[in-house]
Structure 1
Amino acid sequence: MEITRPTDRGYAALRHVYARTGQPGSVLLPRSTAEVVEALGIVRSSGRPFSVRSGGHGISSIATNDGGDVIDLRWMASVEHRGGTHVRIGPGARWGAVAHELSPLGLAISSGDSGDVGVGGLATTGGVGLMGRAHGLTIDRLRSAEIVTADGRVHRVSETEDPDLFWAVRGAGANVGIVTSFDFEAAETSDVVQATVAYQPTDLAAFLVAWGRTVEEAAREVSAFLYIGAGPRPFAQATVVYAGDDLGAAVPELKRFVRLPGTAGQRSMVVPYSAVPLTSGAPHTGQQRAAAHTGLAVHLDDDLAARIAVLLRAGGAEMVQIRSVGGAVNDVHPDATAYAHRHQNFPVTAVSVDGGPAFDRAWEPVHERMDGMYLSFESDHRAEAVAEAFPPRTLARLRTLKARFDPDDVFDQNFDVTEAARSDG
């Protein structure tokens, strides 16, 4: 197994992640499950803090550190078609590469809006993507996985093999081990219809209410992400995807979004799904050092829309992102996976360049209206976030499984669910 240290050639390309710079004491680069077991043994013996990295793109910036160790899974990036819709993917693959590999096969897996995100982090947390209302969260397409637990044991998990551990992997995987391969049931989707729509609304709150209503009334083949910039004259841009290439069905659905007040321009086209996740392939240098707060909303009602408008108008955040769930995401029973938020329709995320107490205060009026949290969009690892991300019954079950599979709390880096972590916070 390759281990890179600060004095070694190549260290500079390994030390940072997308949203943070780091200076780890060593970066371990396993190429197999056996080497992951070896790497875990090494970092546990060192007694230093450690991080687990798949793509290194996450907002929470926990995939690097200063003075500790990093288990970097980038060489475990295979995408293997195993027949039909069955696909096996390594945790170090990035979703843009996955989409390009699957596209010639007429297959796709809904992931996030960035193709630079690694498979491992997203596929153990949730996966809110631009085909989510049609196909569910990324974790909803997961059929089995291989995971190394804190004791170095390798488990093959599914609905019939270690089902409790499989339940935990789908939404809280970072708390119970390191997943070394994922088996997905891909969707038979080759092309989609994608629209990009620009808006300059004169009444942002009214626009947001109309946007929310339009998303909820749209066919479940439609998923829509909205990005709104701050300032006295708000500007917004949306990506709307119809999961399929049936223009007769897609065009009326997409026209709903073009008819919204303030539409300033639009472009629609049939594209392979692989063109949807924005993929740069740029090396990570800590280039996006923003703070983010997030929550889930059932509806974009008048009150919530007004609060979001105030947040942006007053300069409390540089951007608000509103993604869509619902549809197939909400078909899944809340108890089926460790991600239990199956009645909300919108993840709402505020982004601030400076962060800090002023951002926290500005977010609070919106936060008061949130109903749960999707952890992938939250940069503050406060203890309260765990209780927002996992409802009481889910959190109680997670804590029981955490005590069983990680009694020493080895995996405490990513929103630790242990009771001790809550008490210490």
Structure 2
Amino acid sequence: MADYGHEPAFGTFITPRSDRPGDVVALARLSERAGLDLVTFQDHPYQAAFLDTWTLLTWVAAQTERVRVSANVINLPLRPPAVLARSAASLDLLSGGRFELGLGAGAFWDAIEAMGGPRRTPGESIDALSEAIDVIRAVWDPSERGGVRVDGEHYRVRGAKRGPAPAHDISIWLGALKPRMLRLIGAKADGWLPSLPYMKDGDLERGNTIIDEAAAEAGRDPREIRRLLNVGGTFAPTGRGFLQGPPEQWVDDLLPLVLEQGVSTFILFGDEPRAIEVWGGEVAPALREAVARERGASGTAAGEVVRPKARALRRDGIDYDGLPAALRGKAVEPGDRRYASVRSTYMRSGSPGLVIRPESVEDVVAALGFARAQDVPLAIRSGGHGISGRSTNDGGVVVDLGRLNGIEVLDPATGRIRLGPGARWGHVAEALHPYGLAMSSGDFGDVGVGGLATAGGIGFLARRHGLTIDHVVAADLVLADGTEVRADAETHPDLLWAVRGAGGNVGVVTAIELEAYPLRDVVYARMVFDAAATAPLLEQWGRLQEEAPRELTGFLYLSAQRGASPIAQLVSVYAGDDTQAATDVLTPLLGLGPLLDQQAAIVPYAAIVPASDTPHNGGVDRPLLGSGLAGHLSPEIARRIEAGLRDRDIHWVAIRSVGGAVNDVDPLATAYAHRHQNFSLSSVGGRQAVFLRHWDALRPHLDGLYLNFETDTRPERLHDAFPGETLIRLRRIKARYDPGNVFDQNFPIPPEAPGEA
């Protein structure tokens, strides 16, 4: 008698008939519409009457949006485990974490051998399956050093590259009935997937006992292992036997299997559309309700089980067991296989105690409420690029908004768009291009919408079209107290003002609306120079850039080289497709220094910020970045940058041109007040003392800073970011919307005290 407490799930087992492929896919899509959780297919690669299961899984994943897909079960002898691991991780990444791996040791050995596969005895097939699980797990774990090495009798992997990591913790379910296979499930697998028609009375109870004992011997909690069951039956007006009757009878028949035999996932055999509709629309919700009612009465704990090894990695100050039920499947903690993929940002290696990944505004409210109750730091993350590293932490809670990544064109005529904070700008550019629209958005396609669109947004179109924040017209936020608000010109206009330049300090932005502008193609030019004479190159480029028409925006990147001259890469974008005008302003730039490489072309704007979903794996524990703004690239600024590169006080420098349309905006119109400078400077360093000394000497020649490129949080930097009246106004807004200074990681802004002038 056992109820392992897993949330009930329901799926279908569809025959992959090759003579009716359209019907097969239609049944899978119907399963999703019916509210089911899972679609599965048998895998018999030697059976010509069936579609290839792996191809079918990929196709179905592309044709659906929510439902998970799995084989029931994969024929391991015909699918090498190292390749299978990469295929599984790839499909999981492409589907947004919707793949599960049902595995089988093999059967029908004559047919397997005819296809070129090995013939194995029952004992050999189980040994091979055990080795395969080791191979698959190792390939999925890129956080481990070195290549994959498994020296088995059946599978020998000697240094294979690890990765990619899947989008979520892919479960490995084994189809099995014999004791030795059941013991393997207890030791290594995540689920038991038998078929009820092939079982005798008592097999479920006997199987659970063997699995539980093996799990305990392996140091696992038996509740880690989900019990799944393929079932079949007939819906009929009156009852005629087990699973032969109306939906309410099915609920009565299945409920004891949950409460007494621990089954939590039921997968329905059959290809009858009406049965699938009844299964998903009537049986599944009624059985979920009945299970919840019975568990509530008995006090049975429900939810996923944390493995003992993972529990040992939990951090002080976080009440993991108090996490709201709605967030449990959306939270990642140290010890989870997904942890490596969510712990860090583009540059900083983080080690948070908990990463919560909301999928709705309600989830954000719950996540923020939970995080506020913990005695640890809080970080909010959008797309995860954030090179300052402030969107992760060590030992704290990270609310990762990456799944709030919607991109919607509300009105193509006006350019009105609505974006989720977790969307990445490359995908935004890609989505806008068919409408002939664009939005200036940094210089990398994997930058998240939320971080950039609330801090400024210096991009390749800035001098022609302004900052990203200059086009923000509304935002939806969750405030520190959990209140959901909309900020626009009529409602909470003070909050909209703050969002445009200091949004990370006033709330969690859950959606943002902007007005994109007509633009399809641009002239893109890239020039590489030997920058031995760094200072003269900087001064000359600065003059040419300031004199250029505002259609031209240039970003100059300088990198130090050991034992050689610095290298300068200039990326210039002319906002339009007038090639002659672009040539006229680009040609003088070729004389900045000894030219090493150059190219120019007319391209869609989306092509220069290509979409990317690359995982962010950090690499630096505490990145060092400095930021400043300047009216001109003066001789003093140029000389200090040259000396910093020569002495290796700094490793890399980026100088982005602003001015033009950026400076058309009143400095008090947004919380970003820097509206007279022409350049934004930033650099990366490796030694804190010399890096800070370099920047302390440079700052007297600068005027302000750009928030997202700065890691020095000494109090004076706050005044550089938010000068004069801007900081006074921000402190008043903080006092109204975040008096407890919950949002203090993107430069802490102290709320105005009561009675303070």
The TM-score range, normalised by the shorter chain, is over 0.9
Partner of 2:705: 373
Kindly report which structure 2 residues correspond to 1:82-231, keeping only aligned pairs within 5 A, or say none. 82-84=410-412, 85-231=415-561
- In structure 1, the residue matched to 2:582 is 250
Aligned-pair identity in percent equals 49
Amino acid corresponding to residue 333 of structure 1 in structure 2: D
Deviation at 1:262, TM superposition (A): 3.0
Q: Secondary structure at 1:323's aligned position in 2?
A: strand
One-letter code aligned to 1:291: L
Higher helix share: 2
- The aligned amino acid for 1:308 is I
Question: For residues 201 and 411 of structure 1, do their structure 2 counterparts lie closer, same or farther at Cα, with a shift above 3 Å needed?
Answer: closer
Paired residue secondary structure (1:233): strand
Q: What secondary structure does 1:100 align onto?
A: helix
- The answer to whether residue 299 in structure 2 is matched with residue 299 in structure 1 is no
Q: Indicate yes or no: 2:687 matched with 1:355.
A: yes
Shift of 1:33: 1.4
Q: CA deviation at 1:288?
A: 5.4
Residue equivalent to 1:55: 383
CA drift at 1:98: 1.1
Gaps of 5+ in 2: 1-326
Instruction: Measure, in 2, the Cα distance between the counterparts of 1:378 and 1:351.
Output: 10
Deviation at 1:342, TM superposition (A): 0.2
- 1:302-321 correspondence to structure 2 within 5 Å: 302-321=635-654
8 Å CA contact 1:311–1:363 kept in 2: the answer is no
Shift in Å at residue 279 of structure 1?
Answer: 5.3
Q: Secondary structure at the match of 1:219?
A: coil
Do residues 327 (structure 1) and 655 (structure 2) align?
no
Name the CA distance, whole Å, in 1 between partners of 2:633 and 2:376. Answer: 45
Deviation, 1:419, is 6.2
Q: In 2 relative to 1, CA 12–306 (structure 1 residues): closer, same or farther, beyond 3 Å?
A: closer
Amino acid at match of 1:126: G
Counterpart Cα distance in 2 of 1:145 and 1:87:
11
C-alpha displacement at 1:330, in angstroms? Answer: 0.4
1:317–1:350 contact (8 Å) kept in structure 2: yes
Displacement of 1:362 in angstroms is 2.2
* Post-superposition offset of 1:379: 1.7
Shift of 1:259: 3.3
State the distance in 2 between where 1:233 and 1:76 align: 44
Q: Partner amino acid for 1:11?
A: Y
Residue 558 of structure 2 contacts residue 653 of structure 2 at CA under 8 Å; is this kept in 1? yes
Alpha-carbon distance between aligned partners in 2 of 1:382 and 1:199, rounded to the nearest angstrom: 36
Alignment partner of 1:271 out of 590, 603, 625 = 603
Classify the secondary structure of the residue corresponding to 2:437.
coil
Aligned to 2:51: none
Per the alignment, residue 412 of structure 1 pairs with: 744
Aligned pairs for 1:337-348 (under 5 A) are 337-348=670-681
In structure 1, the partner of 2:138 is none
Tell me, yes or no, if the aligned pair for 1:316 and 1:363 is still in contact at 8 Å.
no
Q: Deviations over 1:263-302 (max 9, x none)?
A: 3331000111111126553211113564111100000122
CA distance in 2, matches of 1:260, 1:10: 47
1:48–1:68 contact (8 Å) kept in structure 2 = yes
Unaligned runs of 5+ in 1: none
Which residue, out of 573, 578, 589, partners 1:241? 573
Higher relative contact order (CA 8 A, sep 6+): 1
* Bigger radius of gyration among the two: 2
The Cα offsets for residues 217-257 of structure 1, whole Å up to 9 and x where unpaired, read as 11101100001122552220110000111212222122132
Provide Cα deviations, 1:333-369, integer angstroms capped at 9, x if missing partner: 00000000000000111211x2310111123222221
Which consecutive aligned stretches of 4+ in structure 1 deviate over 4 angstroms post-superposition? none
Q: What does residue 36 of structure 1 align with?
A: 364
Separation in 1, partners of 2:676, 2:725: 16
Q: 2:354 pairs with 16, 20, 26, which one?
A: 26
Structure 1 distance, partners of 2:332, 2:343, is: 10
AA paired with 2:569?
Q
Q: Distance in 1 between matches of 2:677 and 2:345?
A: 31
Q: Does 1:283 align with 2:615?
A: yes
Q: 1:386 to 1:134 in 2, by over 3 A?
A: same
Farther-moved stretch of structure 1 (44-53 vs 293-302): 44-53
Other structure's SS at 2:411 match:
coil
Please say if residues 345 and 387 of structure 2, whose CA atoms lie closer than 8 Å, have aligned partners that are also in contact. Answer: no
Q: Which TM-score applies when normalising by structure 2?
A: 0.54
**Structure 1 SS opposite 2:511:** strand
* Paired letter, 1:410: V
Q: Which amino acid aligns with 1:313?
A: R
Deviation at 1:112, TM superposition (A): 0.6
Letter in 1 for 2:670: T
Which stretch of structure 1 is more off in the superposition, 42-51 or 164-173? 42-51
